Structure 1
Amino acid sequence: DQSDPRFEKWLNRSQNIYATHHMIAYVRLAHLDSKGDRSGEAEFRYDRYPDKIERITRNDVSFVRKKGKKWIQSDDWGETGEPAEPEALKLIQVVISYADLPLRTKGESRDRSQGAVVVRVVDQRKTKEGNEEIVFEQGREHQKPDLNYPKYTFFRYKDADPDDVVLSEFSGPVYESGGGKVQLDVRYDYLVAVKMEAITPAPSAPDKNASAEKAAGPTMGKSASLPPPISDKIYTFAQIEKQKAELKDKIVRIEIRYLLGEPSDLLGDGTQRYIVKDTSKGATPYGQVAFPREGLEKMGLANDPHREGPFTLYARVHVFPEKKAAAICVAIGTHVAVENRKATYSW
């Protein structure tokens, strides 16, 4: 019985993707007794920006490490905080090792009576969107029917090439350093920096010296062709992430508390992408927002990007064309005027 050669190829591809993009790992751990029963479950979220910053969150507590610095307890992505306690540092290293384990190792088997490790496809299914999930089991030549073996789920978009896949989930028992077993479940997401169509809102106030033709030029027309907000409600980043399939390309209203960290130039035209904290009191109040230069200036954030709000924004929800990649909000204005089902947004 031969292992499926696609497994190693796809795992290597996934390693490269998660090593070069903002990786998000949702980690769930539980101790396993000799009968395979679980106890002491714990859940964490691990974010890693390559060569920039790492963050681990459990419940409402977050620990952050910027490149070249030490771990601190921080709720604002490392802008402020206190040094992490020794016990917290131990936990941090454990969580990181488990988040990386499915990507960096092909597992460990200690029962020689079952023969060699054999990786097989045990399930291949389609999602409701028509995408594919291919599940590999890391089994054995003579495996036992009552045992739980590690499973790796790879995702492929419906129109993607055969090898255009990425590891999206891992589930199975793994050995801990003390020799016992732990049930490990990890769900992987990642963010990519992609080129997006820039949306230019209408200017806040036309130049009095400009001609009527110029004032009603392509910028105004482009804004006027946008749809109105999907509703008057204020969306949190957690709600946007959860409902991103339904909110894709829709305009939503968001309320933000402040911007975090340093921006990245998303489009090469001055558009700045920030990590942003919204005004909700939930466990995950963070999201990504891309601001045009004019927007930051009109909001008074160009020279003081970390000034505290709240600020109300209208933004288009952009969903990256990769497996379960998180959404980003593209800010288009702070004011809206709706007429004949068309909306004009301005700063």
Structure 2
Amino acid sequence: MKFHLPALLCLVSVPVLMRGQDPNLAPDDLKNSREAFDKNHLIAQVNVPGKQLHYRYDRYAEVRRIQTDEGMEFAQPKGKAWRKSKDWGKTGTVIKGDKAAQLDNQAAIAEVPLAEPEDRDKTQGGPVWKLIDKTQENDIETFTYERSREKPRPDGVYPRFTFIKYKSDTDGKLLLYRFAGQLRMGDDVTPLQIQFGLMILLPATTVIEEVHPKKKSK
């Protein structure tokens, strides 16, 4: 199976209006993020400080990849095995056993913020979204929401989702930019931090016009 990776990628502009300040809309923004990531190229920089684990995770519809800080690359075409591969799994050594399970686990960790939350303690009631912070720098704003509970524990640590917007965006949709929460690894609970990016594939027929600055007359 051949995969034709994009010849031309561009960073997507992340759209949203002032509605982004309404925490009740955070579930819709998370849903919009899932849909956008599913249709395009998801990039996640995953950091698990307590385990000294950091890696980059990429996902297209037909292939996913993990890059380590040591320069190792592993890719898994849809329905195929993981491979140690520099060309998105088209060639390379097949990975089996514990290492394959480890890569599956790392891919799952990168997807944690996009998954439906697992309700382990029903005594806390349903989810409650709270606006925690808003920042603005030049034409970029971020909105950070905490997904708490109706009856939160005094010592509870609840996940936080940061969404981003540009001043010029007009369709009222936010995209997930950063996540901070906790991860259960066996009996351990450890902090988890993920920064997200999104790239979209332009059609092959797209024409990009280059505009060169005029030369100054001598």
Whether TM-score is above 0.5 comes out as yes
Partner in structure 2 of residue 117 of structure 1: 127
Structure 2 unmatched runs, 5+: 1-21
Structure number with the bigger relative contact order (C-alpha 8 A, sep ≥ 6) is: 2
Whole-angstrom CA distance in 2 between matches of 1:46 and 1:134: 24
Q: How many residues matched?
A: 192
Helix, strand or coil at the partner of 1:8: helix
Structure 1 unmatched runs, 5+: 31-38, 200-224, 229-339, 343-347
Counterparts of 1:265-284 in structure 2, within 5 Å, are none
Q: Does 1:152 align with 2:171?
A: no
Partner in structure 1 of residue 182 of structure 2: 173
Shift of 1:81: 1.3
Q: Deviations over 1:91-118 (max 9, x none)?
A: 1111111111111223545383x55432
Measured at CA, do residues 227 and 182 of structure 1 come closer, stay the same or move farther in structure 2, by a change above 3 Å?
Answer: same
Measured at CA, do residues 26 and 108 of structure 1 come closer, stay the same or move farther in structure 2, by a change above 3 Å?
Answer: farther
- Report if the CA contact (8 A) 1:108-1:174 is conserved: no
Q: Does 1:5 align with 2:24?
A: yes
- Report if the CA contact (8 A) 2:82-2:96 is conserved: no
Whole-angstrom CA distance in 2 between matches of 1:115 and 1:65: 39
Counterparts of 1:212-251 in structure 2, within 5 Å, are 226-227=212-213
Opposite residue 33 of structure 2, the aligned amino acid is: S
Whole-angstrom CA distance in 2 between matches of 1:28 and 1:104: 18
Q: Does 1:19 align with 2:28?
A: no
Partner in structure 2 of residue 45 of structure 1: 56
- Report if the CA contact (8 A) 1:10-1:166 is conserved: yes
Q: Pick one of 74, 83, 102 that aligns with 2:85.
A: 74
Q: Whose Rg is larger?
A: 1
Partner in structure 1 of residue 138 of structure 2: 129
- Report if the CA contact (8 A) 1:131-1:156 is conserved: yes
Whole-angstrom CA distance in 1 between matches of 2:84 and 2:134: 42
Measured at CA, do residues 108 and 187 of structure 1 come closer, stay the same or move farther in structure 2, by a change above 3 Å?
Answer: farther
Whole-angstrom CA distance in 2 between matches of 1:80 and 1:189: 26
- Report if the CA contact (8 A) 1:10-1:163 is conserved: no
Which TM-score applies when normalising by structure 2?
Answer: 0.76
- Report if the CA contact (8 A) 2:44-2:110 is conserved: yes
Which TM-score applies when normalising by structure 1?
Answer: 0.50
Helix, strand or coil at the partner of 2:201: coil
Once the two structures are aligned, what percentage of the paired residues are identical? 26
Measured at CA, do residues 182 and 107 of structure 1 come closer, stay the same or move farther in structure 2, by a change above 3 Å?
Answer: farther
Q: Does 1:100 align with 2:108?
A: no
Helix, strand or coil at the partner of 1:164: coil
Whole-angstrom CA distance in 2 between matches of 1:85 and 1:69: 11
Q: Pick one of 59, 65, 77 that aligns with 1:55.
A: 65
Whole-angstrom CA distance in 2 between matches of 1:196 and 1:171: 39
